[in-house]
Amino acid sequence: MLALNGLQGPSYLGTGCTFRRLALYGIDPPHCRAEDVTAEASRFGNSTLFLESVSKALRQERSTTPPTLDDTFLAELERVVTCSFDKGTDWGKCAGYIYDIATEDIVTGFRIHGQGWRSMYCTMEHDAFCGIAPTNLTERLHQIVRWSGGSLEMFFSHNNPLVGAQRIRLLQRVSYLNMTIYPVTSIFIMIYPLSPVMWLIPDEVYIQRPFTRYVLYLLVIIVMIHMIGWLEIKWAGITWLDYWRNEQSSWSAQQAHTQRQCCTWR
């Protein structure tokens, strides 16, 4: 996450994030948009008070005076929060969170980065956010199935990191591509432990034997993976024991079972 600050920044992952209003509203950053951008009712809905607040945000006006909570304001507020307010507008498509996908957080972050906005990863001495994590293996597996399905759905949609969004840099696309195709790796992980069994039938090894160039490549990859894990442990401030428990209880089940099911379903 911290390394992505050198690109366009880390993606939004559902928690631990704050947005600029204009970025979440689907408006281009100042260096990419025209000066005469206006808040249109066809895009944000026909709420006069809300459109005025968007216009103030476009002019970089920040009112420190709280609004008067009279009957008119409360009635308008109730209308804006109804489920039917966003019908016929850009909400859920080009503004706000993206609808109709399991990984709405990653797709929303992809859209914001694609418009030219940047994000920044930072840590504070006191935690700024608190999130809820699964408390047992069953909940964790259900969560992984949902994430894996949403990632593949994003890959096979117009939000594909390879072709979507014009203002995303190449390495940033690679980062998003990793978030969308990682469930496919479960297929190869399942094949790898079955390879020794297959060798018993024809009595022939299909992978290069040890002490060859293959082993050198494999060692380099393994060392790089553990170095990345070590850096993440250092940045997160967790212990090696917690990291090892997470690898045992989560990663193996995730790769060998849930993501494989997702690839089968999709």
Q: Which of 37-41, 216-220, 226-230, 244-248 has the lowest mean pLDDT?
A: 244-248
| Mean predicted lDDT score pLDDT of the chain | 79
Residue 253: per-residue pLDDT = 56
Both tokens assigned to 147: 């994430």
Both tokens assigned to 4: 């992505």
Q: Judge contact between 115 and 29, C-beta under 8 A.
A: yes
DSSP-H helix ranges across 34-164 = 41-44, 48-58, 71-80, 104-114, 137-155
Q: What is the mean pLDDT of residues 57-65?
A: 73
Q: Which of 31, 16, 22, 6 lies closest to 175, judged by CA?
A: 6
Residue 266: per-residue pLDDT = 45
Proportion of the chain above pLDDT 90, given as a percent: 1
Both tokens assigned to 104: 């709405």
CB atoms under 10 Å from CB of 155, counted, come to 20
Phi, psi torsion values for 95, nearest 5 degrees: -140, 140
With 0-12 / 13-18 / 19 or more C-beta atoms within 10 angstroms meaning exposed / middle / buried, residue 183 is: buried
